Amino acid sequence: MDNRIAILDLGTNTFHLLIAEKKKDDWQVLLRDRQAVKIGQGGINESRILPDAMERAIAALKNFMIPIRSMHISRVYAFGTSAIRVAVNRDEFIKRVKDQTGITIRILSGDEEAAFIYHGVRKALQLRDEKTLITDIGGGSVEFIITGKGGMLWRKSLEIGAQRLLEKFQHHDPILPEEIHSLNEYLKQKLQPVTHALQVFCPEVLVGSSGTFDTLSEIYCLKHNIPLPVDSPETPLTLNGFAEIYSELIRKNRSERLAIPGMIEMRVDMIVVACCLIKFLLDHYPFSAIRVSSYAMKEGILDQLDLLPD
């Protein structure tokens, strides 16, 4: 159908598919799917997509093409982010994907990625004048966006995603205190632009965008017997709730983390270092609250679709 489109968000850890149909002046989401691909695994810090990661990625895209074909999608928009963006062999990967699936990948810059995340979160949380720091922790990069009256006030994409941090710093499971210390020293250096922006703009609320934050919210809801929202654009989490989950995660090994109600396999490896990053932000700036947006980049792309070049 001419009014049905597919958006592919090709992240470092997870590939996402969103299929939507234009109804009057708005888009109705018909299908969401995701697959853990871990395209950056083993090669992310050498800026290379390894052969087995390429095979996982192409297999996932072939799976996505099944509903895309059966639902008669008129246009497919595929966007590569950090792991593909920085890979020295990205042209080879893009060509293989095109040859084997017919999908053309567009590479987003970090600034473009951050802008789409902003539009997705804004749609989910109805952001108005309240100053927030949106944080989207991907496997390859982390996007930081400060919002307030007038919209997006500041944005920055840093190549310090959870797959990179995992491979650089977590060599034991459970993570060792000295590994957390080394990670924090690294973040102190890498996050200087962010900590400076926090002092300049003074946001009040930390907003987590999808991914790790979705899992933290689900764990929090199950732990406190809060009904899990179904298809809600915003899900519950508190600062105290995060602190409880963080202290539990850093004490447990992989199998123990996987046994936590709400934990999912695709997050269990990276969630410890991702939570260390969140803890670093909370320790270094006095946020008054935390909110979780279920919407992220792909919903922002959908929101801005009419402005995309053909």
Whether 80 and 180 map to the same domain: the answer is no
The stretches of the chain forming alpha helices (DSSP H) are 51-70, 82-86, 90-101, 110-125, 162-169, 177-190, 192-201, 212-223, 239-249, 254-258, 271-284, 297-303
Q: Using one digit for the tens of pLDDT, what is the confidence trace for 295-309?
A: 999 999 999 998 787
* Contact in structure between 260 and 275 (CB atoms under 8 Å): no
**Domain-terminating residue out of 40, 72, 107:** 107
Give the mean pLDDT of the chain. Answer: 95
Whether 92 and 130 map to the same domain: the answer is no
Q: What is the mean pLDDT of residues 202-210?
A: 96
In a domain, 304, yes or no: no
DSSP string, 234-279: EE---HHHHHHHHHHHTT--HHHHHTSTT--TTTTTTHHHHHHHHH
pLDDT at 310: 65
Q: Using one digit for the tens of pLDDT, what is the confidence trace for 263-301?
A: 999 999 999 999 999 999 999 999 999 999 999 999 999
Q: What pLDDT band is residue 2 in, cutting at 50, 70 and 90?
A: low
In a domain, 218, yes or no: yes
In a domain, 120, yes or no: no
pLDDT at 48: 96
Q: Using one digit for the tens of pLDDT, what is the confidence trace for 150-181?
A: 899 999 999 999 999 999 999 999 999 999 99
Write the burial class of residue 176 (CB in 10 Å: 0-12 exposed, 13-18 middle, 19+ buried): middle
Residue 289 CA neighbour count, 13 Å, CB half: 9
Instruction: Give the residue numbers spanning the domain of 59.
Output: 4-107
Whether 89 and 177 map to the same domain: the answer is no
Whether 20 and 50 map to the same domain: the answer is yes
Q: What is the mean pLDDT of residues 107-134?
A: 94
Terminus-to-terminus CA distance in the chain, angstroms?
18
The type of residue at 42 is G
pTM: predicted TM-score of the whole model, two decimal places: 0.96
Neighbours of 231 (CB within 10 A): 7
- 36 SS3 class: strand
Whether 136 and 254 map to the same domain: the answer is yes
* pLDDT tops 90 at residue 228: no
> In total, how many domains does the chain have?
2
Out of 107-116, 214-223, 227-236, which region has the weakest mean confidence (pLDDT)?
Answer: 227-236
Distance between CA 284 and CA 279 in Å, rounded? 9
CATH number where 8 lies: 3.30.420.40
Whether 140 and 276 map to the same domain: the answer is yes
Q: What pLDDT band is residue 206 in, cutting at 50, 70 and 90?
A: very high
In a domain, 242, yes or no: yes
